[in-house]
Amino acid sequence: MSIRFESRIAGKLAHSINEAGWSKYAVLTPLFCGALMVSQEKHRFRRVRVGKPVENVLVVHGAGMEKRGLEAIETFGSMRLGEYEEAIREYARDAGLRVTFFHSNDEKVVADRLTQIGDSMIDAVIINPGGYLSGAPRIISAIEALACACIEVHISNPAARGISSPFASSCSGAVTGFGIRSYQLALMGLAARMGPSGKS
């Protein structure tokens, strides 16, 4: 399976991914009904704000991600969480976006932060659930109540390890298995679908 990119902004990265054969091992589900697309499955999309460009993105780090680079290196690699954030900031700058970060090992605290988004300048959310893949109904409910897009991101591909994400049906899309570049793909999808004009 190759990856088809609807937006020119993603063309170079798409070529690299397909040439490297990564698409055999990683997954992109539809972002915003078409900015980045791979698919044989049907996905449910929530109504999100239309006509407002994405400028500010909240990146949520899930439970246990402060241990990245220290544990399960064979699965997640040697990068530390701070290094994740440095790379994500660079990707965001390249995409013309701004990012802020939030991390908590307390499900209620994460859910509360997501609930507060309606009163903030946040235009979209990227979440790596981390340890919350084992189940986090409060967070999932908060995502379902969002009026903006939320993209699920994983460094590895949980499905390849037999893990089914409970977040999948609540998020607008997902990018998994491309290492740190999973975040880049998610940001590029946001920028391509809802750029400065606010149009896809």
If we measure between CA atoms, which residue out of 183, 108, 121, 198 comes closest to residue 152?
Answer: 183
What pLDDT does 31 receive?
47
Can you tell me the mean pLDDT for 90-109? 97
Give the separation between CA 180 and CA 22, rounded to whole angstroms.
13
Angle between helices 181-193 and 11-20 (to 10 degrees): 140
Radius of gyration of the chain (CA): 15
- Structural element, H or E, at residue 187: helix 181-193
Query: How confident is the prediction for the chain on average, in pLDDT?
Result: 80
Can you tell me the mean pLDDT for 176-185? 97
Higher pLDDT, 198 or 141: 141
Under DSSP, the state recorded for 135 is -
pLDDT at residue 171 is higher than 60 = yes
120: pLDDT confidence band, cut at 50, 70 and 90?
Answer: confident
Residue range 2-51, pLDDT digits in tens: 344 444 444 555 555 555 555 544 556 544 333 333 332 333 444 444 44
Residue range 42-90, pLDDT digits in tens: 334 444 444 467 899 999 999 999 999 999 999 999 999 999 999 999 9
pLDDT at residue 137 is higher than 70 = yes
The fold of 4-193 is: Rossmann fold (3.40.50)
